[in-house]
Amino acid sequence: MTTQGAIVTGGTGALGRAVVAHLLARGDRVAVPYRSAPGFEALRAAAGGSAALWGAEADIADIDSARRFVDAAAAWLGRLDAVACLAGGFKGGATLEATPASDWDAMLRVNLASVHATCRAALPHLLKEGGSVVTVSSRAADTGGAGAAAYAASKAAVVALTRALCLENVDRGVRFNTISPSIIDTDANRHAMPKADRSQWTSPEDIAKVVAFLLSPASATITGAVIPV
């Protein structure tokens, strides 16, 4: 398989680490934006100090910061073929009227604005060679997300944005797909839900396999899909 140049936002998180590991293992070069230097250094250490991994501090929900990072990443990678928009977060636990108004803006920023800014910055590079983008929605976007309206709305908006980008680029060689995971089996989720039935949770490693497939030329006939994982 030809070596790809990939950007993974949220690469220092549980799912991001699994995706980065999977891409590096198959020979890709990977660029990761980060907000915490120790988080990236831990990622680098887990990758054995791989020379195929590069990172820089960036706020990828900010259009200008995202553009600077993506331009620098594309230059380091040599070519940009793949973008995994994995950065995101969760706030919930209360009805809409009891939820702090700031949570609404926070969820839209971390889950939606990050995808918007990253895709806007990446498209000029992806259009040169063609490529693939994977975004992350949530089952809450389908079920309604009672008690987490801001989160559910932001993830539903990710689906709408991804579908719009698919239609805009279907004849320009760039593919856009979304994965829709159930609860991901992470240390943070185990701590937050210690009594939950984890039998239906999905491991980051299993999700990473799906993301890596969708980023690869092997999935060249798939675009505009919302794939439950």
Catalytic residue ranges: 151
CA-CA distances (angstroms) from residue 31 to 48, 62, 67, 87, 145?
15, 18, 14, 14, 32
Closest of 208, 215, 159 to residue 2, by C-alpha: 215
Query: Which tokens go with 171?
Result: 């004849």
Q: How far apart are CA 20 and CA 42, in angstroms?
A: 12
Q: How far apart are CA 196 and CA 27, in angstroms?
A: 37
Q: How far apart are CA 11 and CA 174, in angstroms?
A: 22
At residue 139, what are phi and psi to the nearest 5 degrees? -60, -25
Amino acid identity at 192: A
Q: How far apart are CA 48 and CA 154, in angstroms?
A: 35
Q: How far apart are CA 16 and CA 217, in angstroms?
A: 20
